[in-house]
Homo-oligomer: A and B are copies of this chain.
Amino acid sequence: MTGHFMLLNTKKHLLPKNCSVEKREQMGSKGEVVVENKEWVLSAYAPQGVPTSDHLKLRTTKLTLSIDSIPDGHVALQLLWLSIDPYLRTRMTGNQEGLYFPQFELNQVVNGFGVAKVIASKDKAYKDGDIVLNPFILVAEYCVVPTNFLQKVNSSVEIPLPEYLSALGVPGFAAWIAIEVLANAKEGENVFISAAAGGVGMFAGQLAKIKGCRVIGSTGSDEKVKLLKEEFRYNDAFNYNKENDYDVALSKYFPNGIDIYLENVGGKMLEAVLNHVNYRARIPVCGMISQYNQVWNEREGVRNLLNMVGKEVRMEGYLVGSYLDRFGDFAKEMEDYMKQKKISSKLKIYSGIECFLESLASIFSGSNIGKVVIQVKHDA
């Protein structure tokens, strides 16, 4: 054995910056490696509000990793990069109603989408050092998982690893499904992107621009408005915090109405949009960031859904996991765009798994620019 744990044994892995340095592994009496493993546990459901340390607790356990202890068809992974997404929050309410992914279990380590390195393998398709995507990786520095959900990252492509959680990951794919599959954007159409500087929004707007659409974004700060126009090439953008009346704003920015609305926020913005939709408008519903932290019957109701009839509007919720058969098409197209510099990407990088709670809360604060990720391993 032990070859599998070379990386650990030689201490080449560095600790996250914020992490107190301590002895993190030791050779046990039987050639085992014992690592100190920081991991996040759901200690209580949070029916509403942004989750706090009352709900999510960081703990350190000792994890014994011996090749003999890894079941066949499993690998030991070291988490490198973790994706921070709104759907994580929906799995912490304790209320399964209306949700596809199950609730996280109480007193268990939560999971998310991550890029990890194989550090020990009992599956001949994977070897030490392989970089893999795992949509259900534990929010822990190390874990042992079955290989059936893993996807190898082709590291020969000159794209930084965290972009596999962003442009080439869930946000990029979510944007592509919305714009190309569900909305099937056509040249000259009027496209409105909410949460436009967020993980999905930034790619959706750029993909619509590539299709020849007129693209307007809404976002939460003047800094982000500038970014949308200058870096993401939006035709125009506005700061929703400065608009007293979304109806007035949309009248101004969409004199010819809205053909496609990427729904990322919900509530009053959706309501305003429904007053400006064109005939056969499409509304892919990616998320409703304004609505996640409230129990449903305290959320803002949308009162003008009747407009969907007269304008034949189609509103459609979607999960990227249901479109995996299209992932290859997406990845090829997106890689081409990135190589041609047709798509810009912004990452908001938190450092260290200790930041999980803070980074999760941040995506509901409207303060982030770009895709939020945690660099779990400092030199990943």
Contacts and interface: CB of A to CB of B under 8 A. Distances in A.
Contact of A308 (B285, B298, B306): B285
A60 B322 CA distance: 61
A97 B307 contact: yes
Contacts of A328: none
Contacts of A274: 98
B285 A305 contact: yes
Contacts of A288: 305-306, 309
A306 B279 contact: no
A296 B300 contact: no
B309 A317 contact: yes
A266 B301 CA distance: 12
A204 to B, nearest CB: 15
A288 B275 CA distance: 16
Given A301-B301, A303-B301, A99 B310 contact: yes
Interface in A239-296: 266, 270-271, 274-275, 277, 279-280, 285-288, 291-292, 296
A312 interface: yes
B285 A99 contact: no
Contact of A306 (B266, B303, B322): B266
B308 A315 contact: yes
B312 A319 contact: yes
B312 A100 contact: yes
Given A97-B275, A100-B279, A304 B310 contact: no
Contacts of A270: 305
A171 to B, nearest CB: 15
Given A100-B312, A280-B322, A299-B306, 8 more contacts: A97-B307, A98-B277, A98-B307, A99-B307, A266-B305, A266-B306, A312-B318, A314-B314
Interface of A: 87, 90, 97-101, 266, 270-271, 274-275, 277, 279-280, 285-288, 291-292, 296-319, 322
CB-CB nearest 8 A-B residue pairs: A301-B301, A98-B307, A308-B317, A99-B310, A309-B317, A299-B303, A296-B304, A301-B303
